[in-house]
Amino acid sequence: MKKKFSVVVAGGGSTFTPGIVLMLLANLERFPLRSIKFYDNDGARQEIVAEACKVILKEQAPEIEFGYTTDPKTAFSDVDFVMAHIRVGKYPMREKDEKIPLRHGVVGQETCGPGGIAYGMRSIGGVLEIVDYMEKYSPDAWMLNYSNPAAIVAEATRRLRPRSRILNICDMPIGIEGRMAQIVGLKSRKEMQVRYYGLNHFGWWTSIEDMKGNDLMPKIREHVAKHGYVPPTDEPGVEASWNDTFAKAKDVWALDPSTFPNTYLKYYLFPDYVVAHSNPEHTRANEVMEHREKHVFSSCAAITKAGKSSAGELEIDEHASYIVDLATAIAFNTQERMLLIVPNQGAINNFDPEAMVEIPCLVGSNGPEPLTVGKIPLFQQGLMSQQVAVEKLVVEAWIEKSYLKLWQAITLSKTVPSASVAKAILDDLLEANKDYWPELK
Ligand code: NAD
Ligand code: G6P
Ligand code: MN
């Protein structure tokens, strides 16, 4: 009989938690579970999600033990995997991350530019705390981390917890690969073999083949040149702002037509366009609070009230199956090839060996084995060097409590026009983040 695993979801009150639970339930055959626990530091928020998940689990898999708690010892004892997706400061702070830079005419985004830097300064402590709970109560466990900004969080764990069993991942590349698969008429991105390199939310595909080794790049190129990553048949339910991002990939692609870009590069390469198309009074955080958060929490409340899952409309999070692929690869030593955020250590040979890069790895019981990328072109190398310096300066600013390094980090971001604008943004962010950032000297 296959071993059964115990999982704790950290950030149990996340809007993504119900989707992850449904996805875990859909994958029990390949990733069998004996226990699911939720942990969050906001008990009231978590309870709404957890009570609904309790109803779902009772219907679909009553044999799985279920519990939720704000107590670290209860949460992190006897677990094999920590699946983490916390948002320190929650949506009200995301809203500030987005709106403060926009007030200064600069990109306001969850993970990119000054907003992402502010979020990083909040996340580092929260994520380290979870790593430490895991190591204290379940020292053999693995932490699979979705918590953003993943680039900064990954650099912080590289610097401060180099031996910890934490793997940082992102669902953007697989989301884009799903669209590429649709473009070439394949059922799934798993029917493609890709090469990709970069930083998190900052990378490029250099090769896409089918399983017979046929090059799929020309057909994808023809489509992307006209429509970006908007697939031939529109997916229902894609929000307008995301659709714009997928369409804009056409312009981002034009800068290096021999590759395909991550959609997040638009914030660095077309910041003027992004600012001109932003509403400083109503940003993505507002959209998410008005749509996803409202929908998830009202569905959960309805399910709990009725005592049956059919009373709500919770959707399985297909993207999150990536996290099951990763857990399965570790649990059963599958050696699956996956994109992970790992120390470069020569994989990109003309790039900082101490940078955290997003590249293909083979994953087994002892973790990831990165594949070689080789030499990258000057355009990408230049952009990545600048961006990785930003990420490292943020982590150094957090460690040293240094105002100066944070000012340097914001100044160095390609989204920011000058040191004076950087300082003005920093001073506003500092005021807004008083309760979350270390006190800067
Ligand atoms: P959310 O605000 O709905 O949920 C986050 C939860 O984390 C909240 O319930 C909050 O109370 C909890 N939390 C905050 N600080 C905590 C701490 N120190 N300890 C324990 N719990 C804490 O947010 P969401 O939109 O559902 O997103 C969750 C996270 O997942 C975010 O970081 C988001 O950026 C990230 N995410 C990442 C990817 C990726 O590609 N890596 C994809 C999707 C979402
Ligand atoms: C993608 C990215 C995540 C990011 C999310 C934002 O999935 O990979 O890192 O957090 O988009 O989505 P949202 O709907 O919250 O704006
Ligand atoms: Mn991501």
Ligand 2: list residues with CB < 6 Å. Answer: 110-111, 148, 170-172, 284, 288
Q: Tell me how far the alpha carbon of residue 202 lies from the centroid of ligand 3, in angstroms.
A: 10
pLDDT of residue 64: 98
Which residue among 111, 229, 243, 321 is best mutated to probe the pocket of ligand 2, counting the most ligand atoms within 8 A of its Cβ? 111
**Does the annotation list 94 as a binding residue?**
yes
Compute the C-alpha angle 82/341/392, nearest 5°.
105
Mapping DSSP to helix (H, G, I), strand (E, B) and coil, where does residue 343 land? strand
**Does the annotation list 170 as a binding residue?**
yes
Atom of ligand 2 nearest to the CA of 172: 8
Q: Which three-class secondary structure string do you get for 321-338? A: HHHHHHHHHHHHCCCEEE
Query: Which ligand is closest to the CA of 132, given by its number?
Result: 1
pLDDT of residue 307: 98
- The verdict on the CB of residue 42 being under 6 Å from ligand 1 is yes
Compute the distance between CA of residue 120 and CA of residue 148 in angstroms, rounded to an integer: 7
Residues with Cβ < 8 Å from 286, sequence gap 6 or more?
95
Query: Which ligand is closest to the CA of 293, given by its number?
Result: 1
Atom of ligand 1 nearest to the CA of 171: 40
Token representation of residue 297? 């929490």
| ipTM entry | 0.99
- Tens of pLDDT along the chain (441 residues) come to 789 999 999 999 999 999 999 999 999 999 999 999 999 999 999 999 999 999 999 999 999 999 999 999 999 999 999 999 999 999 999 999 999 999 999 999 999 999 999 999 999 999 999 999 999 999 999 999 999 999 999 999 999 999 999 999 999 999 999 999 999 999 999 999 999 999 999 999 999 999 999 999 999 999 999 999 999 887 788 999 999 999 999 999 999 999 999 999 999 999 999 999 999 999 999 999 999 999 999 999 999 999 999 999 999 988 888 999 999 999 999 999 999 999 999 999 999 999 999 999 999 999 999 999 999 999 999 999 999 999 999 999 999 999 999 999 999 999 999 999 999 999 999 999 999 999 999
Return the residue matching tokens 């953007």.
172
Q: Tell me how far the alpha carbon of residue 173 lies from the centroid of ligand 3, in angstroms.
A: 8
Helix residue ranges per DSSP H, 289-320: 294-306
pLDDT of residue 234: 76
pLDDT of residue 320: 84
Active site residues: 171, 264
Return the residue matching tokens 């950290």.
10
Residues with Cβ < 8 Å from 221, sequence gap 6 or more?
257, 260
How big is the chain by its Cα radius of gyration, in Å?
21
Compute the distance between CA of residue 282 and CA of residue 417 in angstroms, rounded to an integer: 23
pLDDT of residue 17: 97
DSSP 191: G
Overall residue count recorded for the chain in this entry: 441
pTM (predicted TM-score) = 0.98
